Amino acid sequence: MTRRVTILAGAALAASLAGAAPEKAGQAPRGLDRAGQADRIFVGGRVWTGEPGQPLAEALAVRGTTVLAVGKSADVRRHSGKGTEVVDLRGRFVAPGFIDGHLHLLGGSLSLEELRLDDAETFPALTQRVRDWATANPDAHWVTGEGWTYAAFPDGLPSRLQLDAIVPLRPAFLVSYDGHTGWANSMALRLASVTRETKDPPGGEVVRDAKGEPTGVLKESAMELVGRLVPKPLPHEKERALRAGIAQAAAWGLTTVHQAGISEEEIEILSKALEAVPRLRVYAALDIERDPTPEVLARQDEIRRRFASDRLRVGAVKGYVDGVVEAKTAAMFEPYVGGGSGLPEWTQEELDRAVAAYDKAGWQVMLHAIGDRGIDMALTAFERAARANGTTGRRHRVEHIEVPRTADLPRFKAGGIIASTQAMFPYPNRNHLGVYVPTLGPERARRAMAFKAIDDAGAVQAFGSDWPVFTAEVVRGIACAVTRTTVEGTPAGGWEPSQRLTAEAALRHFTRDAAFAEHAEKEKGTLAPGKAADFVVLSQDLLAIPPERIKDTKVLLTVLGGQDTWRAKEF
Ligand SMILES: [Zn+2]
């Protein structure tokens, strides 16, 4: 059934590709006499096509929504005729449109206007940011925000008393940068009736002090105890945020994003926003259902049929096997430094059953798995489903793969399983070096975010951002994967430098491999005749400049299906 859906999506894309592009005023209608004539040609550049047979070119011709020709400037110029626009790239770098293999478009879009704590790396900076926001927003009933890092707190975790000191008279609830841990003040706990008597919900923890009192830290599913009280944005507010988020994504050079989990209500809103701002393609995963009964599968299949265009396509379901390292909720074979070995959210049997049901019904399954035990559980479920159902080519995906056992890496290639990693996850800031690495201990830290080892094991590795966990600015992601340093260049030489990638490998993971990860490598992800005219023009040649300069690269132009979706003033 995946094959059928793929063909449908391919057919939908082909149909839209065959359709005429909007004609420019004064231009003759397209006919046989114009066969082979481009609408626009871009010449005199350095084009990285992503095609193994012809990785480099100088020029690109576009007709309608697709690429007409790629090659030397003189050859591509032959496609120009009356009405063809010729753009001189003046040596600039062109790459296929960036594809973010894992993000949360609504969360990211909302984060553009929320209280953000990401770059407040110290406790004083963090408290000042919260205080400023509370002062500037006296009418907000709640003080809410996201992005604090564990390293900002002396104990690696915050407490309600610290938040009471900043926000005493209103409920406050602030979520960690990874979205897996909540920090509530006393009033928020009181409103939510979280007391020493409150039991830990399944898959979550109410952190308590030595006397058994809640500290204000709520891990994983326990976040909902308070989170459900926080005023939610209304549908029109979500749509407004999404329109801004889509425009921002185009400015970052993105032409496609993979939405890692979405509710049935939110996909309707996303669909409207994409119609209003048609500057992005979205490949969406619905939220996984723990018990995919025939009724559930029928309902989800209906959504899959409805959203099957090249602009918004549903093809996967996404679930969580475990949590995150810093909160010690990622599932590990061996205990963390200081104890605990994580919380798998399923038993292996439950996971096997759900994955097999989706596999049988033709779905691609995306499973968040960070700890070595969680990753093994996900791989095992995929392998068993393929065996039980006799299926191949589903391209199931493990999301994040932060701390795999080295011996498990060959299982990706063997099982045709996609390694979906996030280029900025090894970003060696205070949180990473001060909390993440010490929580793992040295042996596990050495095999964390092992991008090079994953490539060497022959896996298809698709890069994403996990926006809003990290920015979805792709050049920042490429810079991190290539240098493994912060933008300030620390630590010198990079963190675990043996796992650094070449710029070309990083580009490939953000283009061709990410297209493969959504069953769309025939339609996009590289620049070749007949493929979607999705590409970016960058200010610097990523393949030629020193790695430490990659981060300064500007996106000058983003083209999606032949149409400009972003153009910098300087282009
Ligand atoms: Zn995510």
Query: pLDDT tens digits for 297-323?
Result: 999 999 999 999 999 999 999 999 999
Q: Which helix (H) or strand (E) holds 238?
A: helix 235-251
Q: How far is the CA of 367 from the centre of ligand 1 (A)?
A: 10
- Confidence class for position 437, pLDDT limits 50, 70, 90: very high
Work out the percent of the chain whose per-residue pLDDT is above 70: 94
Which position has the higher pLDDT, 27 or 100?
100
User: Phi-psi bin for 94: left (phi > 0), alpha (psi -120 to 50), beta?
Assistant: beta
Over range 542-565, report the average pLDDT: 98
Structure confidence at residue 34 (pLDDT): 57
Over range 418-423, report the average pLDDT: 98
Q: How far is the CA of 257 from the centre of ligand 1 (A)?
A: 12
Query: pLDDT tens digits for 139-192?
Result: 889 999 999 999 999 888 999 999 999 999 999 999 998 888 999 999 999 999
Q: How far is the CA of 110 from the centre of ligand 1 (A)?
A: 15
Other beta carbons within 10 angstroms of residue 56's beta carbon come to 11
CB-count burial class (<10 Å; 0-12, 13-18, 19+) for 319: buried
Query: pLDDT tens digits for 346-362?
Result: 999 999 999 999 999 99
CB-count burial class (<10 Å; 0-12, 13-18, 19+) for 392: exposed
Work out the percent of the chain whose per-residue pLDDT is above 90: 89
- Confidence class for position 35, pLDDT limits 50, 70, 90: low
Q: How far is the CA of 422 from the centre of ligand 1 (A)?
A: 9
Query: pLDDT tens digits for 454-481?
Result: 999 999 999 999 999 999 999 999 999 9
> What CA–CA distance (Å, rounded) separates 105 from 107?
6
Q: Give the residue from 415, 320, 411, 336 showing the smallest Cα distance to 370.
A: 320
Q: How far is the CA of 469 from the centre of ligand 1 (A)?
A: 8
Structure confidence at residue 118 (pLDDT): 83
Structure confidence at residue 15 (pLDDT): 39
Over range 528-540, report the average pLDDT: 98
386: tokens are 């393929």
Q: What's at 177, amino acid-wise?
A: Y
408: tokens are 């498990």
Structure confidence at residue 492 (pLDDT): 95
- The residues with which 286 forms a beta bridge, in sequence order, are 317
Cβ 382 vs Cβ 355: under 8 Å:
yes
Q: Give the residue from 346, 418, 328, 421 showing the smallest Cα distance to 379.
A: 418
> What CA–CA distance (Å, rounded) separates 502 from 546?
11
Over range 553-568, report the average pLDDT: 98
Q: How far is the CA of 71 from the centre of ligand 1 (A)?
A: 38
Q: How far is the CA of 391 from the centre of ligand 1 (A)?
A: 27
Query: pLDDT tens digits for 108-132?
Result: 999 888 899 988 889 999 999 999 9
Q: How far is the CA of 522 from the centre of ligand 1 (A)?
A: 26
Q: Give the residue from 182, 164, 168 showing the smallest Cα distance to 117.
A: 182
Q: What's at 316, amino acid-wise?
A: A
Tokens 């939908």 sit on residue = 12
> What CA–CA distance (Å, rounded) separates 29 from 389?
51
Q: Which helix (H) or strand (E) holds 13?
A: helix 2-18
- Using CA atoms, how far residue 53 sits from 21, 96, 455, 532, in Å, is 29, 15, 20, 18
Tokens 């798998």 sit on residue = 344
pLDDT at 205 over 90: yes
Other beta carbons within 10 angstroms of residue 244's beta carbon come to 15
pLDDT at 23 over 60: no
19: tokens are 């359709």
Structure confidence at residue 29 (pLDDT): 40
Q: Give the residue from 9, 524, 105 showing the smallest Cα distance to 305.
A: 9
Q: How far is the CA of 101 from the centre of ligand 1 (A)?
A: 10
pLDDT at 79 over 50: yes
Q: Give the residue from 85, 83, 86 showing the smallest Cα distance to 28.
A: 83
Cβ 314 vs Cβ 284: under 8 Å:
yes
Give the strand pairing for 56-57 and 46-48: antiparallel
239: tokens are 């749509």
Over range 435-441, report the average pLDDT: 95
156: tokens are 């690696």
Q: How far is the CA of 135 from the centre of ligand 1 (A)?
A: 31
Q: How far is the CA of 168 from the centre of ligand 1 (A)?
A: 32
Q: How far is the CA of 476 from the centre of ligand 1 (A)?
A: 18
- The residues with which 564 forms a beta bridge, in sequence order, are 559
Q: How far is the CA of 461 from the centre of ligand 1 (A)?
A: 16
Q: How far is the CA of 540 from the centre of ligand 1 (A)?
A: 30
Residues 6+ apart with CB under 8 A from 447: 403, 404, 405, 406, 453
* 3-state SS class at 424: coil
- The residues with which 308 forms a beta bridge, in sequence order, are 313
Q: What's at 11, amino acid-wise?
A: A
> What CA–CA distance (Å, rounded) separates 510 from 531?
17
Q: Give the residue from 385, 313, 315, 310 showing the smallest Cα distance to 2.
A: 315
Residues 6+ apart with CB under 8 A from 466: 102, 103, 104, 260, 400, 422, 425
Q: How far is the CA of 325 from the centre of ligand 1 (A)?
A: 14
Cβ 102 vs Cβ 260: under 8 Å:
yes
Over range 253-268, report the average pLDDT: 96
Structure confidence at residue 25 (pLDDT): 40
Residues 6+ apart with CB under 8 A from 446: 496
Which position has the higher pLDDT, 374 or 15?
374
> What CA–CA distance (Å, rounded) separates 285 from 363?
10
Burial 112-132, CB ≥16 within 10 A → b, else e? eebbbbbebbeeeebbebbee
Q: Which helix (H) or strand (E) holds 220?
A: strand 214-220
Q: How far is the CA of 224 from the centre of ligand 1 (A)?
A: 17
Structure confidence at residue 343 (pLDDT): 81
Residues 6+ apart with CB under 8 A from 136: none
Q: How far is the CA of 464 from the centre of ligand 1 (A)?
A: 9
Q: How far is the CA of 107 from the centre of ligand 1 (A)?
A: 10
CA distance between the termini of the chain: 44
Write down the mean pLDDT value for the chain: 93
Q: How far is the CA of 79 from the centre of ligand 1 (A)?
A: 43
Q: How far is the CA of 506 from the centre of ligand 1 (A)?
A: 19
Residues 6+ apart with CB under 8 A from 516: 395, 418, 460, 462, 525
- Please state the length of the chain: 571
Cβ 272 vs Cβ 278: under 8 Å:
no
> What CA–CA distance (Å, rounded) separates 391 from 265?
31
